[in-house]
Structure 1
Amino acid sequence: MSNTPVAIDLFCGAGGLSQGLSDAGFDVIWGIDHSEEAVQTYRANHDGVAIKRNIRDVDPDGGIELAEDDKVPSEQVARFDIGPSDVDLIAGGPPCPTFSRVGRSKIGSVEGTSPEEDDRHELYQEFLRFVDYYDPGAFIMENVPGIINSENAGGRIVSDVIVSEMEAIGYNVDVYVVDAADYGVPQRRKRAFFIGNRLNRDNPNLKHWQTHREPEDDNETKLKRTGTVGQEQETVQATMEEVVSGDVPDFDEIVPEQPRKSPWITVGQAILDLPPVSPGGPTSDDSNFAIPEQATEYQMEPLTEYQEWARDVDESRDEALTNHRSRGHNMYDLSLYKLLGEGVGWDIGDVGQDLQPYRQDIFEDKYKKQHPRKPASTIVAHLEKDGHMFIHPREARSLTVREAARLQSFRDSFEFPVPLTKAFKIVGNAVPPRLAEVLGKALLEELFDVNRTDQKR
């Protein structure tokens, strides 16, 4: 065990929440999730310490029993031999799709069930079961914003019910809805966080920990080169010089109540240094004349601090860049992609009948080209099905897994060693690590006194 505050991650997914908490200073000793692909990804990026389980079948009393299939390295087995008082923080995001407007619309078409039949909205109770057993000093539970105002079958506000159950086991609880863009993530992503502690402290006010803000005027959206790349040069046409802009924070330092926050980080600042790839292109980049389907090497230097921060890989290895492969698109979709301007979207019903590729009464998909001078729209798990809502701002294709991961604030060393469609799903389901890092630092400083006394509890 560690001398730093110890955390476990329930419903860990690929490990975005774990990554951020680790970057903040927690010792995240293990994660648990029901998805094989998520656990495989977590293991690849977090010392192999994750197990695949249906959390309803796990009884923490007496320690977590491991099997050979769990593939936990022998030197890490002791991490699961814990009991009450051994854990400082329990974190997790129990899936609650019935509280999400997107989730409710997809449940019937994708899974063949109705929202009323879906029982995943009760998984927060499994989260609280672990909190009640391990009795940590604090917990943080992430969920969709729809959980705040949704009503249960009895007509009660769901968030009020959850808070009352959290308070019943001894925790002081606050609920916040935050936008990831306000915390250095190049994406508009609103999420609810339930923060509880039994340390007789006020919970951190997450608004005080915001690092970024909406641009104040058009001058802040006029993009310019930064650092040593070159001098500002305005132009009428949208070029690379227009997509690299503004001041971004020092990613190694997070300070609450900053006197001057930086403007939101944009799609262009986040991904436009990545090499072009093409649907149906050559499978290698050996050709000097064709854009490949996949790129494994960077072709240019980073142009923004965010891009430089994201490139935390050893570029001398065989594949410096991973997960940067274009998914396939038919010619019809590619033609529609070209018609869209920056940041412009279509509902399928808005497209003329002669252009509609799908039946509107069956599919509710939309097309949207991401705007290079704004944060991305919310990256969602539906990317597993198609990429129509996430069309590249400069290339006639949807985003790659690496680009989606960048927009979720995963650095380039974080790999997704699973099939492409599954990688899109777990990226879309993840908590952005950059957001999780800010939350972790807020908890460490305001609840655990780490930055003041460097002591636990």
Structure 2
Amino acid sequence: MNFIDLFAGASGMSEGFINAGFVPVSHIEMDKYACDSIRTRAVYHYLKENDKEDYYNDYLKGNISREELYEHAPKQILDSVLNIEINDKSIKSIFEKIDKRLGDKEIDLIIGGPPCQAYSILGRHQENIENDPRNKLYIQYGRFLKKYQPRAFVFENVPGLLSAQKGQHFKNLKTYFRKMGYEVYHDKLNSADYGVLQARKRIIIVGWRKDNDHGFPAIEKIKRKFTVNDCFQDLPKLKPGEALKVTPYSLNKNEYLEKYELRNGVDFVTQHIARPHNERDLNIYKTAIKKWNRERVRIKYPDLPSHLKTHKNESSFIDRFKVVDGKGVSHTVVAHIAKDGHHYIHPDIKQCRSISVREAARLQSFPDNFFFEGPRTAAFKQIGNAVPPLMASAIANKMREYLCQI
């Protein structure tokens, strides 16, 4: 069964559906670095299917360039990734490109979620939020449904989608999708219930063409038994600003890493890169880590010693510094991690830094051989915006089961 991934980001959702046996026809994404990441991953999947993974591993190790890697995959694999913003002007061209790839085939499934900042808690503080163009991107999504009439679709977004404009926005969205010919269902899922070591709540909307309605998929939750410390255990210790672009693991893989295949076949890890910090921030981090590890208490900005404070505002964003819970699951990883790491402090006081690119990727359940193209900030942004592949796999496996019954 095939699918189109809209607003694909770095293809975390797509990764889950590919792992469940679906085949991508096209990914559409406006961010250049994210598109580069999708192409690199698409080449990986092609090489894996053809027993040529060594070329991909050579790329990860820096032995060959990205251009040389791409030479080992057919052009149509690379051309399936469309670096285009989906809007009124571009949509006709996008349809033409997809039609050329499709030929006489039909689309089984459409997945994806429009940028969600407009519905997020932070987004609601913006002025004139009702006129934010991102609020209407579901209409573009619906145009793909109207054009290709897939048997089903999966639409992902933040919980704030339900309360935007006092619930009217979500009501309009459901009405619109029903007009496109779909029965629409939704539920709030927490990625921590599906093997992801992160409490990430998302609204999942599932639509079925009215001739094969299956309701919302009954996705079985996984009992939690692992922690963030299990997720980070085998990664080499880092100092602030240290960058291990390619490095051996420091320990053998544990039960969590093996069960969920985060260490998937290679004996090295990439992009274990930490951002640098100034002395003041490091002192704040030490204070925050001690307070969290000893008392399970989050440090608030007003609690900081006066010499560590940089401004007088002690009423807004007072929880700016947050330690990742090593003995539990992480709080939600968001794209703001690209700007600073204060909200994602490593729980190990001996390392005293914010989490690395690879650690953030693991919290999102990306396998270690998933490579994020672009500079460090671009990698962090892609990771923060992504759908965790493990949660996507749980959804995809159930969708495949239902679709096979049609």
Indicate conservation of the 8 Å contact 2:186/2:216, yes or no. Answer: no
- 1:55 aligned partner, one-letter code: I
Q: 1:169 aligns with which of 161, 176, 180?
A: 180
Other-structure match for 2:37: 41
Indicate conservation of the 8 Å contact 2:245/2:272, yes or no. Answer: yes
* 1:178 and 2:189 matched: yes
- How far did residue 169 of structure 1 move? 1.4
* 1:301 and 2:252 matched: yes
Would the alpha carbon gap of residues 32 and 427 (structure 1) be closer, same or farther in structure 2, given more than 3 Å must change?
A: same
Q: 1:148 aligns with which of 150, 162, 166?
A: 162
Determine the C-alpha separation between the residues in 2 that align with 1:376 and 1:194.
24
- 2:235 aligned partner, one-letter code: L
TM-score by length of 1: 0.74
Would the alpha carbon gap of residues 401 and 125 (structure 1) be closer, same or farther in structure 2, given more than 3 Å must change?
A: same
Determine the C-alpha separation between the residues in 2 that align with 1:156 and 1:300.
49
User: After superposition, where does 1:271-420 map in structure 2 within 5 Å?
Assistant: 271-281=232-242, 296-306=247-257, 309-315=261-267, 320-340=268-288, 341-342=292-293, 344-358=297-311, 360=313, 364=317, 366-394=320-348, 395-420=351-376
Determine the C-alpha separation between the residues in 2 that align with 1:11 and 1:334.
37
Determine the C-alpha separation between the residues in 2 that align with 1:427 and 1:62.
25
Indicate conservation of the 8 Å contact 1:8/1:31, yes or no. Answer: yes
Indicate conservation of the 8 Å contact 1:63/1:81, yes or no. Answer: no
| Number of positions where the alignment pairs a residue of Structure 1 with one of Structure 2 | 361
Indicate conservation of the 8 Å contact 2:195/2:224, yes or no. Answer: no
Would the alpha carbon gap of residues 448 and 199 (structure 1) be closer, same or farther in structure 2, given more than 3 Å must change?
A: farther
Determine the C-alpha separation between the residues in 1 that align with 2:38 and 2:312.
38
Q: 1:125 aligns with which of 121, 139, 147?
A: 139
Structure 2: gaps (5+ residues): 44-77
Would the alpha carbon gap of residues 428 and 87 (structure 1) be closer, same or farther in structure 2, given more than 3 Å must change?
A: same
Determine the C-alpha separation between the residues in 1 that align with 2:262 and 2:9.
21
CA deviations on 1:37-68 (whole Å, 9 max, x unpaired) are 11111111123331110111333579434xxx
CA deviations on 1:94-122 (whole Å, 9 max, x unpaired) are 113221103334xx5xxxx7524421111
Give the secondary structure class of the aligned counterpart of 1:139.
Answer: strand
- 1:23 aligned partner, one-letter code: N
Indicate conservation of the 8 Å contact 2:208/2:215, yes or no. Answer: no
Give the secondary structure class of the aligned counterpart of 1:426.
Answer: helix
Determine the C-alpha separation between the residues in 1 that align with 2:183 and 2:226.
34
Other-structure match for 2:122: 102
Indicate conservation of the 8 Å contact 1:185/1:265, yes or no. Answer: no
* 1:439 and 2:395 matched: yes
* 1:13 and 2:9 matched: yes
- 1:133 aligned partner, one-letter code: K
- 2:83 aligned partner, one-letter code: K
Determine the C-alpha separation between the residues in 1 that align with 2:352 and 2:332.
20
Indicate conservation of the 8 Å contact 1:184/1:264, yes or no. Answer: no
Q: Percent identity, aligned pairs only?
A: 34
Give the secondary structure class of the aligned counterpart of 1:376.
Answer: coil
TM-score by length of 2: 0.82
Q: 2:113 aligns with which of 93, 99, 102?
A: 93
Indicate conservation of the 8 Å contact 1:204/1:446, yes or no. Answer: no
Would the alpha carbon gap of residues 430 and 156 (structure 1) be closer, same or farther in structure 2, given more than 3 Å must change?
A: closer
Indicate conservation of the 8 Å contact 2:277/2:353, yes or no. Answer: yes
- How far did residue 431 of structure 1 move? 0.4
Indicate conservation of the 8 Å contact 1:185/1:409, yes or no. Answer: yes
Determine the C-alpha separation between the residues in 1 that align with 2:203 and 2:383.
18
Which is richer in helix? 2
Determine the C-alpha separation between the residues in 1 that align with 2:220 and 2:123.
28
- 2:250 aligned partner, one-letter code: Q
Would the alpha carbon gap of residues 30 and 296 (structure 1) be closer, same or farther in structure 2, given more than 3 Å must change?
A: same
- How far did residue 299 of structure 1 move? 1.8
Structure 1: gaps (5+ residues): 66-77, 213-261, 284-292, 450-456
- 2:219 aligned partner, one-letter code: W
Determine the C-alpha separation between the residues in 2 that align with 1:197 and 1:63.
22
- How far did residue 82 of structure 1 move? 2.7
Would the alpha carbon gap of residues 194 and 38 (structure 1) be closer, same or farther in structure 2, given more than 3 Å must change?
A: same
Q: 1:32 aligns with which of 28, 35, 40?
A: 28
* 1:267 and 2:228 matched: yes
- 1:12 aligned partner, one-letter code: A
* 1:64 and 2:93 matched: no
Other-structure match for 1:51: 82
Indicate conservation of the 8 Å contact 1:13/1:39, yes or no. Answer: yes
Indicate conservation of the 8 Å contact 1:10/1:127, yes or no. Answer: yes
